Structure 1
Amino acid sequence: MTTTITIPAIKTHARLDAIQPAKRWGGSRQDVWSIINEAAAASPVQPFVNMSQGYFGWNPPEFIREAAKQALDQFDCNRYAPTKGRLRLREAISETYSPLLGRRLDPATEIAVTTGANEGMLSVWMAFLNPGDEVILFEPYFDQYLDDIQMAGGVIRCVPLHPPSKGDVEVSSSSEWTIDFPELERAISRRTKMIVINTPHNPTGKVFAREELQCIGDICVKHNLLILSDEVYDRLDYAPFTRVATLGPEIQQRTLTVCSVGKHFFCTGWRVGWVIGPARMIETIATAHLRICYCTPGPFQEAAAVAYEQSLQNGFWSQTREMMRQKMTRFCEVFQELGLPYSDPEGGYFVLVNLSKVRIPRRYPFPPHIQARKRDFHLAWFLIMELGVAAIPPSEFYSAEHAHLGENYLRFAVCKDDGILDLAKDSLRGLAPYINKS
């Protein structure tokens, strides 16, 4: 006997319309990266110079590229890698960073290789945050932190870095972006789980002073908080650089340090990073990493191991630091010519320029999605459409409450070839007629 099943007619579109994104995404605005890149693609000005994102304008060094080519022919590199990472890479990280941290890192238990620093931080948050746990961020922050923390169920609490008092009229050191420590303590509640530090800092270029890190560490000990220290720009420090994990055993035992092979060796597309921390925490982070992506590509891990080994001997770190500092100086010459103040970076490869003196013509035709944003989005759009230069508006790196602190700045990435920097400088000289001289 054959049974006939009748499926009632349904209104397909109505049913599909009822399927909505998760609440963490449902109210999201368009992200700053797609806004700027789409605008850059539509710019009528040619040649166009994109100084918005921090991708390098050159290839990784030959020694890491050659190591990657050789690793592709190595049978064991093309299998699943161990979840914590290939042992050779963990040993190379230990050899490189143990002297910097003042103690021997156990490569078997205190290091986890991750698929980029970003996935490393996501693994930290997935490992330690319960729904409703609060994470304190210093503003401005790298915007990726927000969604990653929220995906893990965390709640953001923001504490601003206060801008230099004369940042709108004169060049200032990025060290003048300061923390109000009573304000930081007021942000801590019984739900607070962690404070995130980023040093050298994106986008200000600030290198947190030892005294500042000691205060943060002491607060975390007092309130029994974890510290996540994002140190992906640690090889680009132009001022004394302190690693928070070196500030005593109580601070070290609650600190998780994240770094990036991509930032270290100009290979951001490889997506290799790592987390250093106490063994019991690394075990949990590795479990989260296992469930997020299982493991990180083996050939790139092997190449990174070779790169760290060779960099202990070939002077690569000091050469890189000097090269990037020269690029920063070269690029900022145009702002000195124009009389536009900027925050002189102590680290990294971004420079924040204050454009409060720039007067955009009245009734300039901004599209609605730009018109509705802060002044820095207007400035960014104006530079793209009129001068052919893209930069990032940093108000995107603030909570709504504090976004006004960034609305007169733009962030430029100087990790480009000198010819590109010079082309950008020539284009930016077109700002001169729009600058208020009074």
Structure 2
Amino acid sequence: MTETPFQPAARFAGQRQDVWLAHPHDTDHMTIINDAAANSPVQPVVHMGQGFFGYNPPQFVLDAARDALGRVECNQYSPTKGRPRLKQAIASSFSPTLGRELNPETEVVITTGANEGILCAFMAFLEPGDEVIVFEPFFDQYISNIEMPGGKVRYVPMKPPIDGATRTSSAAEWNIDFQELENSISSRTKMIVINTPHNPVGKILSSAELDRIGELAIKHDLLILSDEVYQSLFYVPFTSIAARSPDLWARTLTVGSAGKAFYATGWRIGYLIGPENLIKYVTAAHMRICYSSVSPLQEAVAVAFEQANQMGFWDKSRNEMKSKIERFCEVFDEMGIPYSIPEGGYFVMGNFTKLRIPDHYTFPESVASRPRDFKLAWFLIQEIGLAAIPPTEFYTDLNAHLAENYLRFAICKNDEVLDMAKDRLRGLRAFMQ
């Protein structure tokens, strides 16, 4: 492909090659991990990088989708705010956990995936120069979504346990320095973004942490965007910041993902919940960005929420994912590789400080110039055929050192894939200190 003669927008010009394994069969965008996987001498590569599921949604959800595809009204435009049945199903599902009776017409909006919903929230409220506080490590889409409407990011790192290289510990031990958080707030700060359960750490913000964040938001009159796309997968008590007090409800937009909840990341059905005076502006942005979201899949997700409790789906989903995490982490325990035990979600952060890459090992320039976790990721792909994500992709250069010995593994795969990955990891024994 020849280089375009046209100058791209500054937001996309000069961006470095990214980490993402968009899909195992995507050969159009040879990203760092994809490139390594395609050229690894160990084939097939076991992919535990990007967090898409290795299995289908449950049968009752698939049946609902098939039924919706056969109905004329489900194959036409949905209202911009979403199909009434889905908004009602979400309001009914989340009213108990938020401690208030949600109005499905004014306090819920359906978006084309949670990421589009997050973009809509930033587009709705940010003016050029407004600042948004984001915790590191961060979901990388936050950054471009903030910058597109002219916002600026202020970063506050969550810090791993100081002995994370020698001891397995709870993800709860990744700590927020609240003095550092308050120091990052300026007169231009408009919003703070939280992610709980957290990707990639697996930390669930405790009630005490939520309250301290909430106190700062109220003190400095900040909006809160609470990314809770993994909220159905919790292994310790979970609460939403919007449920902590009426004052916090009044300033919080809560983001959710049906794709994460029902193993259907390709369906791209997300939603935002919040007070009417916030949701109406998110809806206005959503209307201009994509007008409305996929109709038959909205209807299927409505049925999924309606039937999930009677099917025992939520408990089954949590128990199965927790079991997968424990199944996979057996190999870390076996090999003495410390890791962060997730409190929620489906990612595990393993600490590979003890892995010794041979001297003079050859890396491509795109990897050699990046932190150690990129080299670890490349090494694992080339030597044992196992793909994971280097988490410094979710950090600024200033704070990348905090996570340069970790790798992130997505556990939402079939058990046979997890077992194959465990066998591949055992191939590192010769390189362990």
Q: TM-score, normalised by structure 1?
A: 0.95
- What is the CA distance between 1:280 and its match in structure 2? 1.2
SS at structure 2 position matched to 1:97: helix
State the match for 1:214 in structure 2.
Answer: 211
CA deviation string 1:136-168 (max 9, x = no partner): 011000111111111121101100001112111
Pick from 278, 301, 304: which aligns with 1:304?
301
Q: 1:172 corresponds to which residue?
A: 169
Question: 1:38 Cα shift?
Answer: 2.4
State how far apart, in whole Å, the 2-side matches of 1:124 and 1:32 are: 26
Paired with 1:352 and 1:288, the residues of 2 have a C-alpha distance of 35
Shift of 1:89: 0.1
Aligned residue for 1:373, secondary structure, equals: coil
- Report the Cα distance in structure 1 between the residues aligned to 2:264 and 2:34, rounded to whole angstroms: 21
Q: Could you tell me which of 374, 378, 398 is aligned with 1:377?
A: 374
Name the counterpart of 2:24.
none
Residues 98-109 of structure 1 aligned to structure 2 (within 5 Å): 98-109=95-106
- 8 Å Cα contact 1:96-1:312 kept in structure 2: no
Deviation for aligned residue 1:195: 0.5
Note if 1:320 corresponds to 2:307: no
Tell me what 1:191 maps to: 188
Whole-Å Cα distance in 1 between the matches of residues 33 and 365 of structure 2? 14
Instruction: Within 5 Å, give how 1:402-421 maps onto structure 2.
Output: 402-421=399-418
Q: Deviations over 1:106-125 (max 9, x none)?
A: 00000000000000000000
Give the unaligned 5+ runs of structure 1: 1-12
**After superposition, where does 1:233-312 map in structure 2 within 5 Å?**
233-312=230-309
How far apart in 1 are the matches of 2:406 and 2:83? 42
1:70 corresponds in structure 2 to 67
- Letter paired with 2:339: Y
Amino acid of the structure 2 residue aligned with 1:230? D
1:46 CA displacement: 2.0
Question: Is the counterpart of residue 26 in structure 1 residue 13 in structure 2?
Answer: yes
Higher Rg of the two aligned structures:
1
Q: Secondary structure at the match of 1:25?
A: coil
3-state DSSP class of the match of 1:289?
helix
How much has 1:376 moved relative to structure 2? 0.2
Q: Structure 1 residue 36 and structure 2 residue 23: aligned?
A: no
Q: Shift of residue 30 of structure 1? A: 1.1
What's the offset of the Cα at 1:329? 0.3
User: How many pairs align?
Assistant: 422
Q: Is the Cα–Cα contact under 8 Å of residues 136 and 158 in structure 1 kept in the other structure? A: yes
**Kept in 2: contact 1:166–1:172 (CA 8 A):** no
C-alpha separation in 1, matches of 2:250 and 2:280 = 14
How much has 1:353 moved relative to structure 2?
0.4
Superposition misfits of 4+ residues, deviation over 4 angstroms: none
Tell me what 1:121 maps to. Answer: 118
Among the aligned pairs, what percent are the same residue?
59
Q: Give the alignment partner of residue 130 of structure 1, picking from 106, 127, 130.
A: 127
Structure 2: how far apart are the matches of 1:91 and 1:42? 49
Length-normalised TM-score, structure 2: 0.96
Deviations 1:266-290 (A, max 9, x none): 0000000000011011111001000
Matched, 1:390 2:387: yes
Task: Give, as a single letter, the amino acid of the residue that structure 2 aligns with 1:159.
Answer: V
Q: Deviations over 1:45-101 (max 9, x none)?
A: 023200001010101111111111110111111111100000000000011000111
- State which of 345, 350, 359 in structure 2 corresponds to 1:348: 345
- Give me the whole-angstrom Cα distance separating, in 2, the residues matched to 1:41 and 1:342: 28
Structure 1 counterpart of 2:359, from 351, 359, 362: 362
Distance in 2 (CA, whole Å) between partners of 1:39 and 1:80 is: 42
- Structure 2: runs of 5 or more not aligned: 21-30
Aligned mates of 2:333, 2:223 — CA distance in 1: 41
Q: Secondary structure at the match of 2:12?
A: helix
8 Å CA contact 2:128, 2:149 repeated in 1: yes
The answer as to 2:218 corresponding to 1:228 is no
- Partners of 2:369 and 2:87 lie apart in 1 by 47
Matched residue SS, 2:153: strand
Deviation track 1:341-387 (CA, whole Å, cap 9, x = no partner) reads 00000000000000011100011010111101100000000000000
Aligned mates of 2:110, 2:155 — CA distance in 1 = 29
Give CA-to-partner distance per residue, 1:246-269, whole Å, 9 cap, x none: 111111100000000000000000
The residue type equivalent to 1:25 in the other structure is F
